[in-house]
Each structure stands twice: as structure tokens, then as C-alpha cells.
Amino acid sequence: ATKPIGVCNGRIADNLPSEEDVISFYTSNGIGKMRIYDPNQATLQALRGTNIELILGVPNGDLQSLTTPSTANDWIQNNIVAFSPAVNFRYIAVGNEVEPSDPASQYVLPAMQNIYNALASANLGGEIKVSTSVSTSLLAQSYPPSAGSFGATSSTYVTPIVSFLATTGAPLLVNVYPYFAYIGDPQNIRLDFALFTAQGTVFQDGALAYQNLFDAIVDAFYSALEAAGGANVEIVVSETGWPSTGEAAATVDNASTYYKNLINHVNDGTPKKPGKAMETYLFAMFDEDQKGPAETESHFGLFSPDKQPKYNNISFS
């Protein structure tokens, strides 16, 4: 079976190839899915006719304006209708990692609803799903995975979003980073658990045996979704990655191990959802030299900006 793997096309850098080059590089590497973080017109033009499935991001700074329905209609006309069906839009990510404490959080759901309605008006409602991309910081509890929950602060923000996703049949987009979980708590989290290299079960959660941290995080999110009334809402892993340098455990060896093992694992599902292939987007295509402040932030690329692979023998399909 082909692997449900995409790669995020981040552009916070001043030394990256042209969009045309980037898109043909995806194609030559057999990468059939892409995430972009804003409706960059050059990227969308270059995607025409490639059949690459796309997650298109709405930047957090644009959320407030999209609470006006006419603005959302214009956004859909300019960025979706103008390129459809030549560009294979799959999801619109309305905001990325907007936290409940962020003033923009009040705009996420209204913007999602307006984007959804604008798609429907353009007769594109069925095939393009509207969601938002969240970080694991929304979980008040993540261990054991069966007890995953959003907690009081997050619930007020997340529960209405979950209800919208359940009603519209859209997945929740989740950015899953075992790397950050590990460096945040190295006393309690084993490196081999984060890298998919643990031999055998690391912990038991009722009847379910966990051998890697990625599954534990995803299943904690599934439990939290169930508790929030979203038992039928699926998860798409909209970012995951491992940096090659910058701080503890950020090495080429570890990153290579993480990516290879993850790619080999995504078709297996998780203990909670065995055999259910997980659509997963690797972060990111290239090192982005203008990201920070942490040194690791600029070393998440699978490739260097001159298109040299940082890791050997990674197959995306």
C-alpha cells in the first residue's frame, strides 16, 4: 500500500528554491501530499496539474478578517476557485496552533464556518474539508492515553470546534512532536520510546500496549475528542518531525531514525485504531534559516536548501 505521507512546505527562509523547483522536487521524490501555510500564489500556480493533495493554511493574522462572510467568500474565490480543480485541495487549515489564551482564538470557529459556507456557495463543499491545526498543548492530560482530555480552559475553545468537525465530517489536524515531548521531560520519557526503537511494550494502558510515543500522543487526542463529543472525528497529523541539530537529542542519526521508523509505521494505525492508516505530514521539506529563536527550529528540514538530502534512503511512497 502507498504510504499516506506528505511533507510541509515551509518558507521562512531567504535561500530556498523557486516554487516551481520545489513542486517538481516533490514530484521527483514521489511526495503526493503537501501542506502550505498561506495561499502563496506562486505555489498555487506551480501546483496546477500535479495532483499533489494540498493542505492550505489560513494565517493566524487573517482569522479576524474572515469572521466577515464577504471576506471569506473573496478568500475562497481568490485562493480556491481560481485554482480548482487544477489544484487538488484537500483541507483548509483555518489557523495554526492558536491557543485558547490567544486573542485570535475567538475568531477560529467563526472563520471556519464562513470558509465552509463560502466553499458550499462555490459548489466545492463536499470534497474540501475545513479544519484547524492544533498543538498537543491543548491536552490537559495525555497520560495514560485513555485519559486524554482537553481540560477546562481548552474545552471552552475546542468543544465547539469539535462539534463543527463532527457535523461536517472533517478531521482535526494535529501537530505531533515526540521530540518536544521528550526534551520537555527526559527523566520520564525514554529516547527509544520517542524514536520508535523501543523493544516491546513500554507501558500498558488497560488492554492496549504502547511501544512508541507518537501513538501515545495520537491516542490521547482520540480520547480527548471522544470526551468532547467527537467520537467520529478523525485525526490527520498535520506536522511531525525531528531536528538534526541544535539541542539535546537533535542529531542526524536520531532524526533519520525517527523519519524512517515513522514512515514505516503510519499504515499500521495506533493501538486505539489498529490498522487505520494515518495521514501524516512531515515537517518540513527544507531547513528554514529564518526560524527561531531555538536553534533546532531552523534544522527540521528533510533536505538542505540546495536540495541535498540530509538523510539517506528515506522513501516517501
Q: For residues 116 and 129, is the Cβ–Cβ distance under 8 A?
A: no
Give pLDDT tens digits for 286-296. Answer: 999 999 888 88
At residue 131, the pLDDT reads: 99
DSSP assignment of 5-47: EEEE-----SSPPPHHHHHHHHHHTT--EEEESS--HHHHHHH
Instruction: Give the pTM.
Output: 0.97
Peptide bond just before 17 cis, omega within 30 deg: no
Low-confidence ranges of the chain (pLDDT < 70): 1-2
All 3 cell numbers of residue 36?
Answer: 502550505
| pLDDT value for 89 | 98
Residues known to be catalytic? 97, 239
Q: CB-based contacts of 261: which residues, under 8 Å, 6+ apart?
A: 195, 196, 197, 212
Measure the CA–CA gap between 260 and 258, rounded to whole angstroms. Answer: 6
For the domain made up of 5-298, the CATH class stated in words is: alpha beta
Answer whether the bond into residue 284 is a cis peptide, omega within 30°. yes
